[in-house]
Amino acid sequence: MAQPPRRTHKRRESVLRRRIWGAAFILAVCAGVTPVTAAQAAPARPKPLSLERLFDNRAVSDDTRPGEADFDGAGSSLSAQDLTAAGWTPGRTMEIDRARIGWPRTAGYGPDNVRANGQSVRVSGRGDALAFLVAGTGGDATGSGVVRYADGSRSTYRLTAPDWRSGPLATKSVALPHRNTPYGQVAEKTRLYAVTVPVRKGRQISSVDLPRASGGALHVFGLSVRAATSGWTGSWSASPAGYTAVGPWADRTIRLVVHTSTGGPKVRIRLENTFAATPVRIGSASVAVQGAGAAALGKPVPLTFRGSPGAQLPAGGQVFSDPVDFEVPENANLLVSFHLPEPVTAAPVHSQAIQRSYVSTMGDHATEADGSSFSSTISYWPLLTGVDVGGGPGSVVLLGDSITDGVKSTLDANHRWPNVLATRLLAQSDVPHYGVLNEGISANRVVADRYPGDGLSTDTGGVSALHRLDRDVFAQTSAKTVVVFQGVNDVRWGASAAQVEAGLREIVTRAHARGLKVIGATITPCEGEALCTAAANEQREAINSFVRSPGSGFDGFLDFDAVVRDPAHPARMLPAYDSGDHLHPGDPGLKALADSIDLNVLRP
């Protein structure tokens, strides 16, 4: 039998290389230097792979076969049936906090997540943040990773995945009612989280190195680049403040009245199912300029969602309508209508609309100009959280409580101080006509949740400013500057100045990391209101001293305290500005706040 040719020349080269390396090693040792091999000198980075190819753990099991998944190393898993009931179906791409994140196609029958340990993930795009869909097991999991850009540069990020069983409900994307175990189902809430981290805006991302986590195990289900907002300005917004019983509505059309700040030639709306456990279906939607009451000036313009007349909002998800040519007037009332074809008994709401809106008789009346089908009124905004206009210079976000929300201002009059500020911006030409986004929530606090963030509740004080910062500020359309005017509810309910100051510092730090300018506002006086005790006032004054100080970290401050206080009695509001409850300014006081602002401070 013929023998294969012997590769003696290659063997000789190999022997020669070993002799050269051996000689170099002896010389290096003699010189007192530890030699480095070629492999050690230039370790090869693993080739980035798609996230799905890195999946090494199964988190989701069918209720009939719970032993097939082991999310936490102890045999527990998420319920596939619970996820489907929430609208989280395999392969679905969901919008959460302006990011589009895919839920794994393999959820329920195969590996569906990766335990982060420095793996290199192939990711492409330009944007303002990375969006991760995550959960921790064995405790909260934290670690640092690397973003690599096409130009060869890189940046680092820090990511925390709250524990799937004990993490805060206030920041979860979805909570499920059960935990599957090999021994049966347990009635215990499980959670998944969408977390964003900043990246270098405008740079093309080529890959992402996942963190090497400490604490618990950090599981990643989805990862995407959140595109920076381009060509849009936020004109109106409202924060989800709670999840309450509504209606019930079945085959009804909701017609909401909202007031624009800046205008533009195109429009889109944003609907959100925040805090929810079940999906909501939108059958159709439209936009129009308000005439009188529920009647429109002209026929409402139909809206679409990715080309369809309607959309389904999964629990915790949002949806933007497609852009439509529609001349949005500045400083005017719009009618945003949407048909709910299926029963809706609870919804996320903004409770203090200070504006009457409308609910129809049965049927889809979204495109009717005549308001006669709208037979009842509501005083809150369900589901709708934003109206954007085409073009424009970007938006100013006002993060606040009931004073920003407009409590005690005149119903249907748009006398909130954010409305007055928007009118001032429109009436001058020195500063761009920024959109003004009102993210005030009545009863809201900086460091404590009023509403826990999950489940049906009558409390609509919202989750804390810290817990809603990503959604209500960073994810807002074209946000450039944020004004923070909060703290009175914290001190009224016993928080110390130190606690509030720590919360404000965190807001500043996180906002600066996103490239936002941050303006603080001093807390207005409230002596005479039941909870505004002398002790609370002492803490209020300490916080105000902090806001005014250079060490606060704010890029500037608005001295609202000085604007409305009684010079003869600084712990009280001037009677001319007091609505009568000693806590909330009335229309004249709200106007004084807005009129006191140097508009140049809003420039980014």
β-pairing verdict for 517-521 and 479-485: parallel
Binned at pLDDT 50, 70 and 90, residue 14 comes out as very low
Return the amino acid letter for 312.
Answer: Q
**Would the pLDDT of 42 be above 80?**
no
- What is the rounded average pLDDT of the residues 114-118? 98
How far is the C-alpha of 279 from the C-alpha of 297, rounded, in Å?
32
Mean pLDDT of 216-233: 96
Checking if the pLDDT of 19 tops 50, the result is no
| Cis bond upstream, residue 248 (ω within 30) | yes
Identify the residue whose tokens are 């460091």.
447
User: Distance of CA 156 to CAs 126, 212, 596, Å?
Assistant: 16, 12, 40
Give the chain's mean pLDDT. 94
Predicted local distance difference test score (pLDDT) of residue 41: 46
Which stretch of 7-11, 462-466, 591-595 has the lowest confidence by average pLDDT? 7-11
* pLDDT above 50 for 17: no
Average pLDDT over residues 20-38: 40
pLDDT-derived band at 27, boundaries 50, 70, 90: very low
SS (H, E, C) 432-475: CCCEEEEEECCCCCCCCCCCCCCCCCCCCCCCCHHHHHHHHHHC
pLDDT in tens, 246-267: 999 999 999 999 999 999 999 9
Q: What is the pLDDT of residue 39?
A: 41
Residue 11 has pLDDT above 60, yes or no: no
Closest CA to 348 of 437, 275, 453: 275
What is the pTM (predicted TM-score) of this model?
Answer: 0.92
CB atoms within 10 A of CB 66: 22
Q: How would you classify residue 139: left for phi > 0, otherwise alpha for psi between -120 and 50, otherwise beta?
A: left
pLDDT at position 13 over 60:
no
pLDDT at 272 over 50: yes
**Domain residues of the chain, as ranges?**
51-226, 241-389, 393-604
Q: What pLDDT sits at residue 408?
A: 98
- Tokens for 206, please give them: 């080529």
pLDDT band, residue 239 (cuts 50/70/90): very high
Q: Does residue 21 have a pLDDT over 70? A: no
The pLDDT tens digits of the residues spanning 505-561 come to 999 999 999 999 999 999 999 999 999 999 999 999 999 999 999 999 999 999 999
Cα–Cα distance measured from residue 198 to residue 75, given in angstroms and rounded to the nearest whole number: 34
**Does residue 64 carry a pLDDT above 70?**
yes
Cα 16 to the chain's mean position, in Å? Answer: 62
The pLDDT-based confidence of 34 (bands split at 50, 70, 90) is very low
Provide the pLDDT confidence category of residue 9 given band limits of 50, 70 and 90: very low
Q: What is the pLDDT of residue 43?
A: 61
Q: Which residues contact 407 (CB under 8 A, 6 or more apart)?
A: 352, 354, 442, 584
Domain 393-604's class?
A: alpha beta
169-172, long-range: CB within 8 Å, 24+ apart, which pairs? Answer: 169/452, 169/453, 169/454, 169/455, 170/449, 170/452, 170/453, 170/454, 170/463, 170/464, 170/467, 170/468, 171/453, 171/463, 171/467, 171/470, 172/316, 172/453, 172/454
